[in-house]
Amino acid sequence: MSHTGHDKWLGLAWFGLVWPGLAWFGLVWLGLAWFGLVWHGLAWFGAVWRRATGATTGAFCLLPAAFPNTIPAVPEIALTTLNARYAHAAFGLRYLMANLGPMRERACILEFDISQRPVDVLEIVLAQNPRIVGVGVYIWNAEQALRLVADLKRVRPDVRVVLGGPEVSHEVDQQEICRLADFVITGEADLAFAELCDKLLNQNVRPLSKVIPAELPQMDRLVLPYELYDAQDVARRVIYVEASRGCPFSCEFCLSSLDVPVRNVPLSPFLAEMQKLLDRGVSRFKFVDRTFNLNLNLSRSILQFFLERYRPGLFLHFEMIPDRLPEPLRELIRQFPPGALQFEVGIQTFDEQVAQRISRRQDNQKLAENLRFLREETGVHVHADLIVGLPGEGLECFGAGFDRLVELGPQEIQVGILKRLRGTPIVRHDAEWGMVYSPHPPYEVLQTSAMDFATIQKLRRFSRFWDLIANSGNFVQTTPLIWRRGNRYSGAREGEALREGEAPAVPGVPDEQRLGSAGASPSRGMGISPFQSFMQLTEWLFARVGRQHGIALNRLAELVFEYLTAHLGLPVAEVASSLSSDYRHACRFDMPEFLRPYSSGVASERRKSSVSGPLPPRQARRLDRA
């Protein structure tokens, strides 16, 4: 055989072998592809059937389970809420999610904030085609949540709506949103929500009762939710954490007075989670515990833990009761660098009768000692709360309390208007003290027998301007000038100064009600009442600008300048220098026109703080200025 003939036969043999081989290979692939299509098709059909009929048993319903890993994870449970602002994360929803057990794979969290339109929220929620929608309802989103649920039920009546959260945990039968929902779980629903979803999705059992009171969960049975904070939360949101639940006190305006007993999260798993958050770069922790300093061992362990891991920029926020700061706790607090700790201290009222009336126990003597300790011996940023409109507390009484607090020197004073929170026992005073509340969230008090509507409105403005000027940290040096001894007030003649103890006239406040006047409490050692002086500024500002919002910082600074110099007669150079210094401390480069003549060369200076790091701006502005 020639060489060429041999090649030819070899070629034919190859062809004969390879061709059928290729054909078989193709057929096998075709078969596999068909099999895959049928497999997916059956699984999809089962899933669609389950969704459309709501059935959880029967042959079709078994299909998706028979073909696992075929269906992409489409959530059947959507947990949603509207937060107060983007920066606030929905911690409660994360607890529910973490405790869903195997159903967690079938759930998602969809978070929004109250600036978003409920109809847009609905669109995103329904795009997931969920079978159950759980909505977290709070005082800040009650109106938006109602619209969301109403529209959802109109568009998709088949979707089961489950409500929960403090706003729907009380007075359930009086709320339209509860009427529209399928289920309302009241109280701490970490485990109760999972049980309900299991019944609806897996057992096809419909609970008999629409309103389900959640049993208080044992804290050691709860899965901690911290891994559910994602990278974006860590980078851009307040990270809420919780070492205990409940409060043993019974202040009648507060919802937490109903949360008894106090329960602690087991410490070591909690600290292990804190460590993971620190490792992920979290530096701002906000503890939501109602009374962080209640259990000395727990609070000490937590503070010690963070102190050992301190790095610049670490910021821990705690809510405290003001009259309990024993030495072992003080010792630890002293060791934190300035700006690292923020204590929110609820004072609410200094008046003992009012406090007693609302069942609030507070030792004012100890409270004052503790605040002095915090301001004099520590770098803690103190945020203290007072409430306007408590039953029987009038303007004079409130003002006296405000002055007392200013003297104790907290960096921030929050003046809040009393709210009638659903479920709180404060309502028992309605008749006796003429309490009239707005029926709309946040249910603020409109008038009482001790404070008429006009006065409450003035205090509302006072609160807003106090926040803009004193709390903001933008006018740290200038704020005390507003009530400095010797200020001339609007009723005085040119060049005339107030006598010590004399209070400036306050528009709308009768003379006999003014602090420092006969019969009223004298201003303690400061000559003039900060409350009355600031009230005067508030009314002046409001008369000038006619609004409390949307005032640019430059404009506000100019108005304060005009008030202090032209109106109160303080030396122009002194006020200008004080405002310029405040500007520099606020790290602002745009020195306003009116200050430039007094601040040559300072506009480009930038204050450097060795400890501030990435602290929240209000707190950072106060560092090095105490």
CA 48 to each of CA 52, 53, 126, 259: distance values in angstroms, whole numbers, following the listed order:
6, 8, 15, 43
Q: 327: phi > 0 → left, psi -120 to 50 → alpha, else beta; which?
A: alpha
Q: Which is nearer to ligand B12, 271 or 288 (CB)?
A: 288
Count of residues that bind ligand B12 according to CB under 6 A: 38
Nearer to ligand SF4, 257 or 349 (CB): 257
Neighbours of 428 (CB within 10 A): 15
Question: Which one of 100, 254, 476, 576 is in contact with ligand B12 (CB under 6 A)?
Answer: 254
Distance CA 238, CA 23 (A): 62
538 part of the interface to ligand SF4, by CB under 6 A = no
Q: Which of 182, 188, 233, 344 binds ligand B12 (CB under 6 A)?
A: 188
The correct pick among 76, 167, 403, 582 for binding ligand B12 (CB under 6 A) is: 167
Report the relative pairing of strands 263-264 and 244-245 from DSSP bridges.
Answer: antiparallel
Residues 50, 383, 419, 420: which binds ligand B12 (CB under 6 A)?
419
Name the binder of 193 from ligand SF4, ligand B12, none, CB < 5-8 A by kind.
ligand B12
CA distance 574 to 581: 11
Give the whole-angstrom CA distance, residue 104 versus residue 190.
13
The whole-angstrom separation of Cα 100 and Cα 223 is 9
* Smallest gap from residue 321 Cβ to ligand SF4 (A): 6
Which C-beta is closer to ligand SF4: that of 182 or that of 385?
385
Q: Min. distance of Cβ 217 from ligand SF4 in angstroms?
A: 20
Minimum CB separation of residue 323 from ligand SF4 in Å reads 10
List 112, 138, 336, 540, residue binding ligand B12 (CB under 6 A) = 138
Q: Tell me the window of 22-30, 163-171, 272-280, 358-366 that interacts with ligand B12 (CB under 6 A).
A: 163-171
Please report how the helices 296-308 and 267-279 are oriented relative to each other, as an axis angle in degrees rounded to 10: 30
- 160-164 sheet: strands from edge to edge: 107-113, 77-83, 132-136, 160-164, 183-186, 211-213
- 59 burial (CB, 10 Å; 0-12 / 13-18 / 19+) is exposed
Spell out, one character per residue from 228 to 247, where the chain touches ligand SF4: x when CB under 6 A holds, - when not.
-------------------x
Our finding on whether 134 is near ligand B12 (CB under 6 A) is yes
- Considering CB distances under 5 to 8 angstroms, the limit depending on partner class, which of ligand SF4, ligand B12, none binds residue 136? ligand B12
Closest distance of CB 84 from ligand SF4, Å: 18
Q: What is the 3-state secondary structure (H, E, C) of 205-229?
A: CCCCCCEEECCCCCHHHCCCCHHHC
Residue 344 partner contact from ligand B12, ligand SF4, none using kind-dependent CB cut-offs of 5 to 8 Å = none
Among the listed residues 409, 442, 569, 613, the single contact to ligand B12 using CB under 6 A? 442
Among 48, 61, 71, 139, binds ligand B12 (CB under 6 A): 139
Query: Of ligand SF4, ligand B12, none, which one does residue 140 interact with (CB within 5 to 8 Å by kind)?
Result: ligand B12
For residues 579 and 576, give the distance between their C-alpha atoms in angstroms, rounded to a whole number.
Answer: 5
Q: Binding to ligand SF4 by residue 474, rule CB under 6 A?
A: no
List beta partners, residue 286: 240, 317
Does 257 contact ligand SF4 by CB under 6 A? yes
N-to-C CA span, the chain: 108
Binding mask 310-329 for ligand SF4 (x = CB under 6 A): -----------x--------
CB of 348 to ligand SF4, least distance (A): 7
* Contact mark string toward ligand B12, 44..83, x via CB under 6 A: ---------------------------------------x
d(CA 229, CA 250): 33
Q: Per the structure block, which two tokens stand in for 605? A: 């200076």
Separation CA 108–CA 125 (nearest Å): 10
CA pair distance 496, 502, nearest whole angstrom: 12
Could you tell which of ligand B12, ligand SF4, none binds residue 92, using a CB distance below 5 to 8 A set by kind?
ligand B12
251 binds ligand SF4 (CB under 6 A): yes
Q: In this structure, which amino acid lies at residue 596?
A: R
**What's the one-letter identity of residue 118?**
P
Sketch the per residue contact string, 264 through 293, with ligand SF4: x for CB under 6 A, - otherwise: --------------------------xx--
Q: Residue 254 or 435: which CB sits closer to ligand SF4?
A: 254
Is 595 a binding residue for ligand SF4 by CB under 6 A? The answer is: no
| Cα 573 to Cα 61, 494, 553, 582, 611, distances in angstroms | 81, 18, 20, 14, 31
Residues 339, 414, 491, 504, CA torsion sign: negative
Find the binder of ligand SF4 among 166, 187, 322, 346 (CB under 6 A): 346
Q: Are 360 and 332 in contact (CB under 8 A)?
A: no
Least distance in Å: CB of 521 to ligand SF4? 25
CA separation for the pair 111, 215 (Å, rounded): 26
Q: Does 84 bind ligand B12 (CB under 6 A)?
A: yes
Q: Which does 135 bind (CB under 5 to 8 A by kind): ligand SF4, ligand B12, none?
A: ligand B12
Residue of 256, 349, 448, 478 that binds ligand SF4 (CB under 6 A): 256
> Residue from 254, 382, 417, 591 that binds ligand SF4 (CB under 6 A)?
254
Q: How many CB atoms lie within 10 A of CB 588?
A: 16
**Alpha-carbon span 242 to 533, nearest angstrom:** 40
Q: For binding to ligand B12 (CB under 6 A), which residues are involved?
A: 83-84, 88, 90-93, 95-96, 134-136, 138-140, 162-167, 185, 188-190, 193, 240, 242, 254-256, 288, 290, 416, 419, 421-422, 442
Which residues contact ligand SF4 by CB under 6 A? 247, 249, 251, 254, 256-257, 290-291, 321, 346
